Structures are given as structure tokens and as C-alpha cells.
Amino acid sequence: ASQEVAYVHTVGALIPRLLAGRKCAALFIGAPGSGKSYAAFGSSFGVDRHSTEPLEFAASGDEEWGAAPRASRQIFESLGEAVGPAGPLELSVTWYELRGTSIIDLLSTPVRGSAKKGGGS
């Protein structure tokens, strides 16, 4: 199936529920090399992971986007339409990798250096 068809029938179906205020989760499960990352992110769509510039969601060229960029576009386009007199909206996202008995928060800020004990600067 194409990335679009896969998205529409899986993660895309969750977005209306999310926008209605319900909690949603999408799981990408499989053996190593089975395509979980491809399903989640798609092929490399020109994103420089070290860039501080915001992503551009172009109308064309997104055929190979996975679920995450497609969901991001759908959510933020919908939120842009939904913001109004009802007040501010809040959105939070978590992304975990489960490997064996380890859980890794993929969106956490890595700790740089080590904390000193006993005060000081």
C-alpha cells in the first residue's frame, strides 16, 4: 500500500478523535528491518535534522511521507482552523521506542555533561 493509503486507514483515522479531545496512540510494531521507521517517517524527505528552521509542508512531493509528518500537517492545519474565541488549545506529543526491556523517550532533551554535587557553578 502507498504511504497515503496506509495513513488514511490507520493514524489518519485517529486525528478526528484527537481533535475532539480524546487521547490517541499509534504503535509501529515489528521485527528489526520490517519497515517501522519507514511507516512512521517515510523516506528521507529533505529534512536536515540539524537545521533550526521549521519544516515546510509543501503540497507536492509528500508522496513518501510517513505517518508522523502526515499527522503533523493534518493536526496543525486543523488547529489553525479551530483556534477561536473558545480559548487556547494545548497539544502534547510523546514518542517512545521500546526495545527489549528498555523504554527510550525519543523526544526528550539529551542530558549534556554531568551535574556537580555540593553546589558551585
On the question of pLDDT at 120 being above 80, the answer is no
84 labelled ligand-binding: no
Residues above pLDDT 70, as percent of the chain: 67
pLDDT of residue 119: 45
Average pLDDT over the chain reads: 78
Residue 88 inside a domain? The answer is yes
pLDDT of residue 107: 82
Residue 111 inside a domain? The answer is no
Q: What angle do CA 27, 30, 34 make, to 5 degrees?
A: 120
**Are the CB atoms for 2 and 12 separated by under 8 Å?**
no
Look up the domain containing 96 and give its range.
3-105
Residue 21 inside a domain? The answer is yes
Residue 65 inside a domain? The answer is yes
Task: Give, for 96, the enclosing helix (H) or strand (E).
Answer: strand 96-99
- The per-residue pLDDT for range 12-41, each reduced to its tens digit, is 999 999 888 889 999 999 998 999 888 998
Burial 38-59 (b: 16+ CB within 10 A, else e): ebbbbeebeeeeeeeeeeebee
21 labelled ligand-binding: no
pLDDT of residue 112: 55
Residue 39 inside a domain? The answer is yes
67 labelled ligand-binding: no
110 labelled ligand-binding: no
Lowest mean pLDDT among 23-27, 54-58, 64-68, 85-89: 54-58
Whole-prediction pTM: 0.68
What one-character-per-residue DSSP string does 57-74 give? --SSS-TTB-HHHHHHHH
88 labelled ligand-binding: no
35 labelled ligand-binding: yes
- The larger pLDDT score, comparing residue 82 to residue 98, is at 98
30 labelled ligand-binding: yes
Residue 82 inside a domain? The answer is yes
- Split into its structural domains, the chain has a count of 1
